[in-house]
Amino acid sequence: MPKHPPNTANACDIVGNPQWFHTRSLRTLAWAALKADRGQTVHQHRLQVMNIAQPSSPTT
């Protein structure tokens, strides 16, 4: 497994193993960070669609 900078490693953990306490926005930001780290373009409209499409997490 390749070594990642600490921020990228945290983003990999959030995206690869989401927990109940990871908010929608945190998961979305982690996904965007990973794309940007790979040199891929992060489109604003895609982030908006992802945020609308994800169901809200339970608060109980």
Measured torsion, CA atoms of residues 15, 32, 35, 49, in degrees rounded to the nearest 10: 100
* 21 is a domain residue: yes
C-alpha closest to that of 4 among 14, 43, 19? 14
18: domain range?
6-53
* 31 is a domain residue: yes
Q: Under the phi-then-psi rule, with left for phi > 0, alpha for psi from -120 to 50, and beta for the rest, what region is 39? A: left
* 60 is a domain residue: no
State percent of the chain over pLDDT 70.
70
Q: State how many domains the chain has.
A: 1
The per-residue pLDDT for range 29-58, each reduced to its tens digit, is 888 888 888 898 888 887 777 666 665 555
* 59 is a domain residue: no
* Nearest-angstrom CA–CA distance, 32 and 28: 6
pLDDT over 80 (residue 2)? no
* 43 is a domain residue: yes
* Nearest-angstrom CA–CA distance, 16 and 59: 22
The per-residue pLDDT for range 7-18, each reduced to its tens digit, is 788 888 888 888
* 39 is a domain residue: yes
Q: Which two tokens stand for residue 29?
A: 């930001």
